[in-house]
Structures are given as structure tokens and as C-alpha cells.
Amino acid sequence: MTDSDIRKKAEKRVASKNQDVTIRPFSERRLEELIHDLQTHQIELEMQNEELRRAQLELIEIQENYDLLYNSAPVGYFTLDTKGMIIQVNTTASKMLGKMHLEKIPFFIFVIPEDRGKFRDYFSQLLKTGLKEACDMRLKGMGGELSVWLDGIAIKDSKGKIARVQLIVSNRTAIKLAEKSARSFQIKYRALYEDSADGILLFDNAGIILDCNKASLDLFGYPLEEIRGRRLADLVHPEDRKQVSQELLGLLRGHLSRLNCRMRKRDGTYRAVEVTGRHIEENLNQTLYRDITERLLADERLRKNEELYRQMFHGSQAAKLLIDPESSDIIDANEAAVKFYGYELDRLKKMKISDINELSPSEITAEMEKARSETQNFFRFKHRLASGEIRDVEVYSSTLEVRGRSLLASIIHDVTDRLRAETNLMRSNQDLEQFAYVTSHDLQEPLRTITTALQMFERKHKGQFDQISDELIQFAVDAARKMKALIQDLLAYSRLNTRGHPFERVDLKEVVNRSTDNLRSLIEEKGTLVTVDEMPTVWGDPSQLVQLFQNLIGNAVKFGPEVSPEVHVSVESNGNEWVFSIRDNGVGIQEAHFDRIFVIFQQLDKKNPFEGTGIGLAIVKKIVERHHGRIWVESEIGIGSTFIFTLPTGTES
């Protein structure tokens, strides 16, 4: 009813009351009082109207809130009349049955046929008793059959007569799915909780441990029944407790906590752990523990290694560069490199290796790839200094991992002066070799004449002089013969480098066989047993390798014992080289003479029946060195000697 309607009714009532009333005149004072009363009454009415409007707005708001709660409820609300016709439903009920307008439709048509008899009995019982009744039922819903739970109550009118029925319908299918999902979630959570590699502790707001997973038990070394009920602070290192307490206070306020601290194990030792904590719900908190002890130790080792690297890199007297093989950038240089190249450190670290290496960028890249793949670590280059001078350098490069980057650590040796000296020495050696060759060659002819003349004189006049004269002639013949052997060995020695054959693949089995065949008469004369292991194939000069084995085996046979002399030739692989051994059971050599025996013209036993020139082992040493090997001797007096030498296993290149 509007304000104008109310006013019209009031005017009619006033008019009907005034029909029988005689209006008498009012005094002026009385009139003022009446006007005042009317004004006051008007204000009161206005205030009452304002209160009424406010109450209406509150009622509307309550109604809207009720409608919101009613329609957003998780259960379906059905209001039925006493005949089972639907009067009103909420939104959930409409969605449940898949229809927007359900008014004036019998509820029982949504009940599946098998349950309709059950529903009629249930509905009749509600109307009969007027009490709250509940039962399970199956309905035809939007997505098919729904298993529901009905909670019904009969509602009476003002006269106490049942006027309608209120049904609350709970979707048991959805509840079952939710329960299944919850169980699945709980199983997954439990699996994650138990199988987690990180330790997990649950504790209350007072810091008392309630539960923990297996990783925590393994981390702290406690059985479950012993760790439950302990104070979390008891597991924390005393020096870390203040920090942990502060983090726990923040945790209880809902802040995510993360820190590193030391935690005590049951055996009294401590482990460094990374802790992440969070507040789960009222009086329940969770912390995750990750053991970072090994990581911290690794970090400390890395720090020490980096410090050691800095000391070795920057403290070295040798020039060193750190190079990125991907970009060819010079990453770092030590003080020795700064001094050698003549650039300031900042300038060097802005340069590329191609700025100082005389090779082309593509050639430099190829060489760095060899170093990075570790197929080669020794190189010879020409490097340009800041002054423009070109220097010969030897570079030793190795890979170095620095914070995930693969770099090349290179040591640079300036060998310019050494190479010049070696060139001069090589020239001098060549001159000496040429001199020795020419001298020995030129001496052979007059020596041959002397030897022939002495031999002819000995044959013609032997026995014609006294005994002393015959001995003198014999001494002269022997000396000439020895001098001839000496000159021939000297000539062979001088020819080792100048007259050597090109290297080729050589089967050392054939080489050793030829050597022993050449020594056959000596071996049989001495009665020596010579045994040989399976020999490899190498690159070398075949004739020089025969001479090498023949000299060594021959010496072993010559200086063997009188009884049961034995010589064994063996070989074994050692990385990129073969190691050969010629072992005898002879008299042995004193350690003081180990180096002397390889010097030219050196003989340890000049009274030995097997006369020599003292050049044999010098020739052996020179042959081994020409083949890029090493030679040495190991010996024990009375036990025997072993001559050991190496030859590369590589190819011709």
C-alpha cells in the first residue's frame, strides 16, 4: 500500500468522525497549541516511517541472504504439497535433476520405478506421523541414476494441520566420489609422506614432535616411539636454537619458513640440514629436512680446490692462460703471462687466443678441440708479444671444469732460446758425425794396407826371429785388427742418423729371429738358452732394430755364466708405449756404472775374452732415441742384468 492510499483512507475516517461534531471557534493561544501538537505528531510519523523503511530494507537483505544460502546449499531442497506435487526447489535441486522448472510436477516421477513403492510408504509415513523421517532412495538425475539420502519433515499450518512437506536431498553418489577422492588423496599423501627422500616432522605449536616419516628416522637415527613426544628444540644444535625459535614463531603466524641449521642425531653427531616449514592447521605444523652435509662438504672442497687453483695458477712462475675453447676468449692470465706477453691483465682478458697465436683461427679451433677431447695435450706454437716479437712456445693444455664451464688451462713455456741452442747443437753434431764418418772412412784404406802388410810379414817371417819378436808382430797384427773393428763401429755409429732408412711397419718377431740367427754360432758356443715372448709390430727402421736386438742379446750371451746361461726377451704394453726387456743371469753390473755403459768407447771389463770397441751400447742408445724411446739398465751383482727400452705404440704419424 502506497503513502497516497494511506492518506485517502485517513481523510475518509476524519470526515466520517467530523459529521456529528460541532466546530467551535478556538482562541488564538489554543490554536497555537494545536498547531504545535500537529507539527510534533508529523515529525513523529516521519520518524516512524523512516524506521519502517529501514526495517523493510533489512528484511529484503535477510531475504536475499536466505535466498543465496538456500540456492547455494550443497543439498537439494524440495517443498512438496500433501499430494507430493513440487511447490518449490532450490538451484541445487534443479541441477541435481537436470530441470530448471520443477513446480507442479509430482516428485515421485523422478524416483526410479523400483523405488517408487518405497517412496510412497515413506511419504505416507511423513504425513501420518508429522515427524522427521529419513531413508535412502534412487532418483533419475541429469547424469543418470543418483543414489540419494532423503531427510523429510512435515510442516503444519497455523491451525496445526500438515500443509506441506520439506525434503532435503543429499547426493550420496557425489559424497561417495568425494570420499573416494579423499581416500585416494590420503593414500597418495601417505605414500609421499612415507616414501619422501626428505625427512618430514609433524609437531604441535609447543614444538612437541607428533609424527615423522621413515626418512626422518634414518636421518636422526631414532626409532619412531622414541622420537615422538620429544621437543623439536632438543634436536637442534645449541648455537642454532635461537635462530630456529625465531623461525618457528614466524611459522605459527602463517609464514613459510626456510633456513639451514645443524641437527643432532641419536649418536650425538650433527648433520647440516636444509629446513622448510609451514603451518598446516590449528596446532599442527610440518617441517621438511634435507641432509646437505655432503653438499656443504663438497662446497668446502670446491672452495679449497678453487683457492688451491688460484694459488697454483696465479702463484706459478710459469706463464699460464685460462681459455674458453668455445669462444677462444682468454678468461684469465697469471702474472707470469702478463710479464711474458707484455699486456696488462685487463687487456689480456679482453683478447682472444688468436690475437697472440700465429695460426689461423680455424687451425687454432682444431688444436683446441684436440686439447678439449684430450687426444693431445702438448703443442708447439709461435706466439706474438705486445712488442711484435714472435717467440717459439711449448704449450701444455688440459681441461678444467669451472662452475659448469669446460675451460682449457694452458702452461706456456718460451723455448725460443732452447730451440736456437738445439739447432746449433744439431748442426755441431752433424758436423761431428760427418767428421767421424770421413775420418773413419779415410782411415780404413791406410789401415787396411798396414794390416795386410803386417799379416804378410807375419806369415813370411814367423819363427825366423826370437819369441819376443814374434809376440811383437802378433801384438801389432791384433792392434791393427782391433783398430779396424773400432773404425768400422765408429763409421756405423756416425751413419745412424745420416744413413738411416725411412720408418715402416716392422714385425719384431722377424727382427728378433734375424738377430738370433746372426748370433747362432755364439749362442751355441756358450750353450745359452734364449727364450722370446710374442713380439708386437712397430714403426721403425728394420735394419737398425735388428742391430738393436742383436747387440743387446749378444751382450747378454757374452757375459752369461759358465753354467746354465739363460737370456729372456719379453715385452709388455704401458699406455702409449711398448716396454721391452732383455734379461740374463750373468755376473751383473754395479749401479755406479749404469749410466757409464751407454757412453761411447766405455768398456767395464777390458780383460773379458770377448773383445769389444766400447761402442755397442752407445749405438743401442742412439737407435732407441732415434725411435723416440728410452733405455736403461737394472742389475744385481751375481743375479744378472736386465736391459729395458721403450718404443712408441703409435702409427707412422
pLDDT tier, 652 (very low <50, low <70, confident <90, very high otherwise): very low
Weakest-pLDDT range from 5-9, 266-270, 554-558: 5-9
Q: How far apart are CA 212 and CA 285, in angstroms?
A: 12
In a domain, 622, yes or no: yes
Q: Check whether residue 316 and residue 350 sit in a common domain.
A: yes
pLDDT at 581 over 60: yes
- Contacts (Cβ under 8 Å, ≥6 apart) of 541: 500, 501, 502, 503, 506, 623, 626, 627
Residue, of 62 and 92, whose pLDDT is higher: 92
Q: What is the pLDDT of residue 644?
A: 94
Tell me if 282 is assigned to some domain: yes
pLDDT (0 to 100) of residue 147: 86
Whether 513 and 589 map to the same domain: the answer is yes
Question: pLDDT tens-digit profile of 263-273?
Answer: 999 999 999 99
Q: How far apart are alpha carbons 177 and 570 in whole angstroms?
A: 81
Q: Between residues 421 and 447, which one has the greater pLDDT?
A: 421
**In-domain check, residue 519:** yes
User: Any idea which of 51-55, 123-127, 218-222, 390-394 has the lowest mean pLDDT?
Assistant: 51-55
Looking at residue 178, the DSSP 8-state letter turns out to be: H
CA gap 156, 131 in Å, rounded: 11
Amino acid at position 479, single letter = A
Task: Give dist(CA 286, CA 207) in Å, integer.
Answer: 10
Q: How does the average pLDDT of the chain come out, rounded?
A: 82
Task: Tell me the average pLDDT across 63-79.
Answer: 77
The CATH number covering residue 398 comes to: 3.30.450.20
Residues 150 and 203 in one domain: no
* Span of 319-333, 509-523, 531-545, 591-605 with lowest mean pLDDT: 591-605
3-state secondary structure of 86: strand
Residue 531 falls inside a structural domain: yes
Look up cell 729372456; give the residue: 568
Whether residues 265 and 314 fall in one domain: no
Residue corresponding to grid cell 535412502 = 136
Report how far residue 340's alpha carbon sits from residue 412's, in angstroms, rounded to the nearest whole number.
Answer: 10
Contacts of 370 (CB under 8 A, 6+ apart): 376
* pLDDT tens per residue, range 466-510: 777 777 777 777 777 777 766 666 666 666 665 567 889 999 999
Where a domain ends, among 371, 406, 441?
406
Instruction: Look up the pTM and report it.
Output: 0.36
pLDDT of residue 6: 61
Sequence-distant (6+) residues with CB within 8 A of 186 are: none
3-class secondary structure, 342: coil
Residue (of 542, 554, 557) closest to 511 by Cα position: 542
Is residue 83 in some structural domain? yes
Going by pLDDT thresholds of 50, 70 and 90, the confidence category of residue 442 is low
Average pLDDT over residues 569-576: 92
Are 642 and 504 contained in the same domain? yes
Residue 373: which domain range? 308-406
Higher pLDDT among residues 310 and 638, named by residue? 638
Domain count along the chain: 5
State the CATH number of the domain containing residue 592: 3.30.565.10
User: How distant, in Å, are the alpha carbons of 1, 15, 37, 300 from that of 8?
Assistant: 11, 11, 22, 98
Which has more confidence, 183 or 128? 128
Say if residue 607's pLDDT is above 60. Answer: no
Rounded to an integer, what is the distance from CA 432 to the centroid of its chain?
Answer: 59
pLDDT above 60 (res 610) = no
Average pLDDT over every residue of 340-368: 93
Give the domain-ending residue among 171, 205, 222. 171
Q: Can you give the pLDDT at residue 285?
A: 87
Give strand pairing partners of 645.
580, 631
Mean pLDDT check: name the lowest of 168-172, 354-358, 455-459: 455-459
Instruction: Tell me if 202 is assigned to some domain.
Output: yes
Distance CA 435, CA 447 (A): 18
Could you tell me if 166 and 119 lie in one domain?
yes
122 and 147, same domain (yes or no): yes
Give the separation between CA 157 and CA 154, rounded to whole angstroms: 10
Reported as a single tens digit per residue, the pLDDT across 166-213 is: 888 888 776 676 667 667 666 666 666 777 888 888 888 888 999 888
Give the three cell numbers for residue 250.
Answer: 614466524
* Cβ neighbours for 255, distance < 8 A, ≥ 6 positions apart: none
pLDDT above 90 as % of the chain: 29
User: Strand (E) positions, 230-373?
Assistant: 257-264, 270-281, 284-291, 319-323, 330-333
> Nearest 5°: phi and psi at 419?
-65, -40
Residue 154 has pLDDT above 90, yes or no: no
* pLDDT mean over 580-586: 93
Q: Is residue 474 a part of any domain in this protein? A: no
277-309 confidence digits (pLDDT tens): 888 888 888 888 888 888 888 888 878 877 777
Closest CA to 221 of 256, 265, 264: 265
| From 352-356, 581-585, 609-613, the region with the lowest mean pLDDT | 609-613
**What is the per-residue pLDDT for 653?**
38
Residue pLDDT, tens place only, 208-230: 999 888 888 988 999 989 989 99
Q: Identify the domain boundary among 406, 440, 472.
A: 406
Q: How far apart (Å, rounded) are the C-alpha atoms in residues 133 and 118?
A: 13
Query: Quick one: 384 and 312 in the same domain?
Result: yes
pLDDT of 609 higher than 50: no
Question: Would residue 560 count as lying in a domain?
Answer: yes
DSSP-derived secondary structure for 480-500: HHHHHHHHHHHHHHHHHHHSP
The per-residue pLDDT for range 506-543, each reduced to its tens digit, is: 999 999 999 999 999 999 999 999 999 999 999 999 98
Is 206 in contact with 251 (CB distance < 8 Å)? no
Say if strands 577-584 and 640-648 run parallel, antiparallel, or are unpaired: antiparallel
Q: What is the mean pLDDT of residues 244-270?
A: 82
Residues 255 and 350 in one domain: no
Mean pLDDT of 96-123: 88
3 state SS of 507: strand
Residue 130: left if φ>0, alpha if ψ -120 to 50, beta else—which one? left
CA-to-CA distance for 413 and 394, rounded, in angstroms?
5
Which of 313-317, 492-496, 603-607 reaches the highest mean pLDDT? 313-317
Based on the domain organization, do 61 and 82 belong to the same domain?
A: no
Helix (H) or strand (E) holding 401: strand 390-402
> In terms of domains, do 508 and 637 share one?
yes
pLDDT of amino acid 2: 59
Rounded distance, CA 58 to CA 50, Å?
Answer: 12
Taking residues 355-368, report their average pLDDT: 93
pLDDT value for 444: 65
| 518, 640: one domain | yes
